[in-house]
Amino acid sequence: MKKEEAVENVERAGQMINDVNARVWNTALNPTQYGWASSLASIAAIPVLSAASLGQIVSEAVVKQISPNVFDRLSNFGQPMKDDGGKSG
CA distance to 1, 69, 83, per residue, from 79 (Å): 14, 16, 12
Q: How far apart are CA 47 and CA 11, in angstroms?
A: 20
- CA 59 vs CA 14, 49, 81, 88: distances in Å: 10, 15, 29, 35
**Residue 85 backbone dihedrals phi, psi, to 5 degrees:** 75, 20
Q: Cα 56 to the chain's mean position, in Å?
A: 5
29-58: per-residue pLDDT in tens?
Answer: 999 999 999 999 999 999 999 999 999 999
Q: pTM value?
A: 0.74
Q: In this model, does residue 89 exceed pLDDT 80? A: no
Cβ neighbours around 11 below 10 Å, total: 14
